A = this chain, B = another copy of it.
């Protein structure tokens, strides 16, 4: 039996197939949904420890651009998990890396619609970021003869999730992209919504990115999932082929698609936004290799 697009339906991860998966990969990539709000999901710490003890590389790949890698490492530590900055790939970092690998000139500036995490990653990479939280309270003057000025040295606009989005930032970014020759338009990711709080979902980066697409009439370069840009960077860094990795995540259209696009094995966990009925609905055409209820099932199935 095969699913839509000829994809075989996902297999439930079990004691029978986990060894085959385990032996076929050298690294496990996790979305940062191993926590919920400010708590680690039960059994995650032990699972990560066991994977490490068995020689598997652990890499954390998130579309969330609000934090820098340093800030993520701090969060991991506060939850009692030892993860180094080097093992974290956030879309904020990916945006800075995209500029770096494409030799974006250090003297050009970057306008940011998004959070402090993006600005910090830009600084780490040696770039000057403008905008971000600082422009959150700025207002526009819509008087007849007022001219809205923008910096002509902005050579890239990076757009991520921005809870302080306003018309000032939209006009600033739009003018840079429309009027500064060759100005890049980079999106950290295009998630529709995200769990910014425990109790509900909120508009995601896709919301700010779509607004900018509409006013500029241009499409962005997307560096977060499901684009494989982060995979290229991390595969090179750790010298592990993507075919020897397993992407573990809770979203079909970002995590699992990212893993598939990159040629990884894929494991969907049902502890986040995707339910079993969504996975098995005939309208869903993204089938991971495996699915399981939660990350800690790995531990149990490995007999630990």
Task: Give the B-binding residues of A (Cβ under 8 A).
Answer: 37-38, 140, 142-148, 162-167, 170-171, 174-175, 190, 192-193, 196-200, 202-204, 206-217
Contact = CB atoms under 8 A, between A and B. Distances in A.
Contacts of A147: 197, 199-200
A163 B145 contact: no
A173 to B, nearest CB: 9
Contacts of A208: 211
B190 A203 contact: no
A163 B146 CA distance: 15
Contact of A214 (B140, B143, B203, B217): B203
Query: Which of A165, A190, A192, A215 counts the most B-chain CB atoms under 10 A from its CB?
Result: A215
Query: Which of A147, A164, A167 counts the most B-chain CB atoms under 10 A from its CB?
Result: A167
A40 B212 CA distance: 32
B211 A215 contact: no
Given A146-B199, A170-B207, 19 more contacts: A142-B196, A142-B202, A147-B200, A167-B202, A170-B203, A171-B202, A171-B203, A174-B193, A174-B203, A192-B214, A193-B215, A204-B214, A204-B215, A206-B215, A207-B214, A208-B211, A210-B211, A210-B213, A210-B214
Given A166-B165, A214-B192, A144 B204 contact: no
B164 A199 contact: no
Nearest to A194: B215
B163 A140 contact: yes
B148 A200 contact: yes
Nearest to A170: B203
A170 B194 CA distance: 13
Nearest to A174: B203
